[in-house]
Amino acid sequence: MRVIPKPMPALRWVAACAIAATCLAAPAAARELVPLDAASPAARPLVDRLRQGGLVLFFRHADTAGMPCDSSYRIGDRAGQRNISARGREQSRRIGEALRALGIPVAFPVLAGPVFRARDTAEEAFGAGQVAVTDGLTADDFAGSRLGWVLSEHRRLMAEPVPAGTNRVLVGHRTPAMMLFGEAAGGRAFPEGAAIIMEPAPVPRLLGVLMPAPIPGAGFHNC
């Protein structure tokens, strides 16, 4: 069954912006990005740009299709969280392999949110010893009263300069990206296992969405 992702309610997006004062683009002003298979000819210019470094890759966690939905919203409670699936773990490993095969340099440690589906994705892709878990990449539903701070941390990590010859990799969740970038990250633009590629700046320039290890027919859960 093809699952159509639900759009973020406008009031929720506006409220998040008002709380954090960190929104980077108004939903009405942004065009939805088109995710590109990293192996496709259409992705070649983006891959070539990534090889030069100086960019930020903001990954959405890997595949969670068929897994139980979040129930506890408590950091550290794996049983109460939607976890990546078995094919999500395989997808995560293929993400790391694909970046290496494509010659895309990565600055370590990779930064991942503490919700297990983000953390597991990063650790499977790059190795647990190469990952630092940061509360600044927490999923919105787990952030509670700290949502404004979490969005501010997302923005900081997307704005700080990255040296040429390497790229900053962040692993988190779709909804914070939608809160920051509006419709550019909405709809079908940001599937599980994909990365939004941006030039770091106070208002990052979005270059595209790359899928290093796509799963045909997947990318969105039913929670």
Q: What is the pLDDT of residue 7?
A: 41
Asked whether the predicted pLDDT for residue 130 surpasses 70, the reply is yes
Can you point out the beta strands (E) in the chain? 35-37, 56-60, 110-112, 131-133, 168-172, 195-199, 205-211
* C-alpha–C-alpha distance, residues 169 and 211, integer Å: 14
Average pLDDT, the chain: 90
Percent share of the chain, pLDDT over 90: 85
Q: What average pLDDT does the segment 168-183 reach?
A: 97
Place of tokens 């004062």: 21
Phi, psi of 37, deg, nearest 5: -65, 125
Straight-line distance from the first to the last Cα atom of the chain, in angstroms, rounded to the nearest whole number: 14
pLDDT in tens, 2-54: 333 444 444 444 444 544 445 665 433 357 899 999 999 999 999 999 999 99
* C-alpha–C-alpha distance, residues 5 and 191, integer Å: 10
Write out the two tokens for 144: 């509670």
Kindly provide the b/e burial profile for residues 77-114, where b requires at least 16 CB atoms within 10 angstroms of the residue's own CB.
eeeebbbbbebbbbbbbbbbebbeebebbbeebbbbbb
Q: What is the pLDDT of residue 32?
A: 86
Q: What is the pLDDT of residue 9?
A: 43
User: Which CATH architecture does the domain made up of 10-211 adopt?
Assistant: 3-Layer(aba) Sandwich (3.40)
Asked whether the predicted pLDDT for residue 148 surpasses 60, the reply is yes
Q: What is the pLDDT of residue 142?
A: 98
pLDDT in tens, 59-91: 999 999 999 999 999 999 999 999 999 999 999
Asked whether the predicted pLDDT for residue 127 surpasses 90, the reply is yes
| 214 Cβ contact list (under 8 Å, min separation 6) | 35, 37, 191, 193, 194
What is the DSSP track for 154-201?
Answer: HHHHHHS---BT--EEEEE-HHHHHHHHGGGGSTTSS-TT-EEEEE-S
- The larger pLDDT score, comparing residue 137 to residue 223, is at 137
Q: What average pLDDT does the segment 95-124 reach?
A: 98
Task: Flag whether the pTM goes above 0.75.
Answer: yes
Q: What is the pLDDT of residue 23?
A: 60
Q: What is the pLDDT of residue 70?
A: 97
